[in-house]
Amino acid sequence: MLVSRGRNPSAAEVITQLVTNQELRGRVLTTLGLLLLVRLGIYIPMPGIDREAFQSFLQQGGQLIGFLDIFTGGGISTLGIFALGILPFINASIILQLLTAAVPQLEDLQKNEGEAGRRKIAQITRYVALGWGTLQSIVFALILRQYAIEELSEIAFVAQTALALVTGSMVVMWLSEIITEKGIGQGASLVIFLNIVATLPKALSSTIEKAQTGDRNDVVGIIVLLSVFLITIIGIIFVQEGARRLPIVSAKRQIGGSNLLPNRQSYLPLKLNAGGVMPIIFASALIFLPITIANVSKNPFLIRAASALNPGASNPWPYAITFFALILGFAYFYASLTINPIDISANLKRGGVAIPGVRPGSATASYLSGVQNRLTLLGGLFLGSVAIVPAAVERATNVQTFQGLGATSLLILVGVAIDTAKQVQTYVISQRYEGLVRQ
């Protein structure tokens, strides 16, 4: 086997492990097989609906429907039983994350109960996903009622359609958890990744057709938009990989008589974007919560207020400002869940490790908190900017072929790809050292 000792595994080493290592190969094949099942469920149709009439409705739905259709991999437009996809589970995760910070019992389960506590939180998340998925399914079924072709009562049609939708959503959630446990990568993120990738061929073909049939302004607009997307991808990679390395030193320790171990200096890395891709996913899911509530309540005032958050509204500023604020808020929120300066400070003090120039204990915790807040501010501002700027360029160039596929999708694609690649590299490195131990 090609081994690159002391550095990240090369592409040749990863490929060799995929070919020779049965466990890694099984994980990859399991992941691909389950993702294929998720895609197949998109094309299992729900019965009793006039699809041509519904397609006419979608063409008038604007960017909101297009954006949601991106995250369901075309499930909404095809009216498959997996139309809701992983969205109810993502919404439930948001709710549990917020409750964990507000409810002491849930916080205790997450921090102090170890694996058993995390399993309980995961089970609660499933129940919340079931309830939220049921609510979304009923709302979607009420929308579809006007396109029914079967002579069913409204209650029967809504019950039948909602049952199919919520069942499909729970199956997708179950498959994503199997991917996380027995495959490679984080299952829910990979399902979203797959759904976004599935829409790329259609968007690219529409863009090529527009470039061939449009005028010179259309061609220039497409070039400008693609350039912005490329620059955005490069920026995302740098921010996702960026980190502040704080030097830490361990105190000299006496062994036996007067022998001293020398100072050992290493680094404490604090990521520029500690939340990774989750703030943009959570903000994208939460931005449409007011619209869902307005549709359920059928209150004209709420519907008018919520329509301002539609990405395709004539005035894009309410949506842009709200989306930016949600991303920044979730960046801070997720960073607070990922990194606890007090715990890090206590662990450093317990291990006899300190940051040069900073007293151990509360001073170290305050210093770490300040550094992390500044890093999170920079990371959150970047995330919010890349979520808004490409959409503004798309509106300015009047290139709508990438409708719904903006910086949000790019962030998810790049972030999930990086996280999955790192997990594969970690597995290969672990196999490398297991081989050295056996030798």
**pLDDT of residue 174 exceeding 90:** yes
DSSP one-letter string for 56-99: HHHHTSHHHHHHHHHHTTTHHHHTBTTSSTTHHHHHHHHHHHHH
DSSP at 382: H
CA atoms of 350 and 128, how far apart (whole Å): 39
432 lies in a domain? no
What number of other Cβ atoms are within 10 A of residue 114's Cβ? 10
CA atoms of 127 and 99, how far apart (whole Å): 14
Compare 193 and 388 and report the one with higher pLDDT.
Answer: 193
Residue where a domain terminates, one of 178, 203, 228 = 203
438 lies in a domain? no
Q: Same domain, yes or no, for 278 and 237?
A: yes
Under 8 Å between Cβ of 324 and 387: yes
Q: What is the CATH number of the domain that holds 308?
A: 1.10.3370.10
418 lies in a domain? no
428 lies in a domain? no
CA atoms of 2 and 17, how far apart (whole Å): 9
DSSP at 270: E
Q: Residue 342 corresponds to which tokens in the numbers above?
A: 């007090």
Model pLDDT, residue 175: 92
pLDDT category of residue 61 using cuts at 50, 70 and 90: low
The strand order across the sheet containing 265-271 reads 265-271, 243-250, 353-354
Distances (CA, A) of 311 to 103, 147, 251, 428: 33, 25, 55, 42
Q: Same domain, yes or no, for 276 and 398?
A: yes
**pLDDT of residue 201 exceeding 90:** no
Q: Same domain, yes or no, for 167 and 271?
A: no
320 lies in a domain? yes
Model pLDDT, residue 188: 86
**pLDDT of residue 319 exceeding 90:** no
pLDDT category of residue 311 using cuts at 50, 70 and 90: low
Q: Which residues contact 128 (CB under 8 A, 6 or more apart)?
A: 92, 95, 96
Residue type, 403: Q
Most confident stretch, 13-22, 190-199, 217-226: 190-199
Under 8 Å between Cβ of 151 and 160: no
Q: Same domain, yes or no, for 137 and 51?
A: yes
- The pLDDT of 333-361, averaged and rounded, is 83
- The pLDDT of 332-342, averaged and rounded, is 81
CA atoms of 370 and 358, how far apart (whole Å): 13
Distances (CA, A) of 434 to 1, 184, 209, 358, 427: 13, 19, 52, 38, 11
Question: How many distinct helices (H) and strands (E) make up the chain?
Answer: 18, 5
108 lies in a domain? yes
Q: Same domain, yes or no, for 41 and 177?
A: yes
Q: Which residues contact 119 (CB under 8 A, 6 or more apart)?
A: none
Q: Same domain, yes or no, for 255 and 401?
A: yes
Closest CA to 209 of 217, 219, 200, 199: 219
Q: How many domains does the chain have?
A: 2
Residue where a domain terminates, one of 183, 203, 223 = 203
Q: Same domain, yes or no, for 156 and 221?
A: no
429 lies in a domain? no
In three-state secondary structure terms, 309 is coil
CA atoms of 292 and 356, how far apart (whole Å): 52
Q: Same domain, yes or no, for 309 and 361?
A: yes
What is the average pLDDT score of the chain?
77
pLDDT category of residue 127 using cuts at 50, 70 and 90: very high
Structural domain span for residue 290: 215-405
Q: Same domain, yes or no, for 56 and 135?
A: yes
DSSP H or E segment with residue 262: none
Per-residue pLDDT tens digits for 216-267: 777 777 787 778 778 878 888 888 778 888 888 876 554 454 445 555 558 8
431 lies in a domain? no
Q: Same domain, yes or no, for 319 and 222?
A: yes
pLDDT category of residue 166 using cuts at 50, 70 and 90: very high
Q: Indicate the pTM of the whole model.
A: 0.74
Under 8 Å between Cβ of 327 and 283: yes
* Contacts of range 172-178, beta carbons closer than 8 Å, 24 or more positions apart: 172/38, 172/41, 172/82, 172/84, 172/85, 172/86, 172/89, 173/86, 173/88, 173/89, 173/126, 173/129, 175/34, 175/37, 175/38, 176/38, 176/86, 176/89, 178/30, 178/34
Model pLDDT, residue 6: 47
Q: Same domain, yes or no, for 85 and 161?
A: yes
Q: Same domain, yes or no, for 267 and 187?
A: no
DSSP at 113: S
CA atoms of 69 and 78, how far apart (whole Å): 9
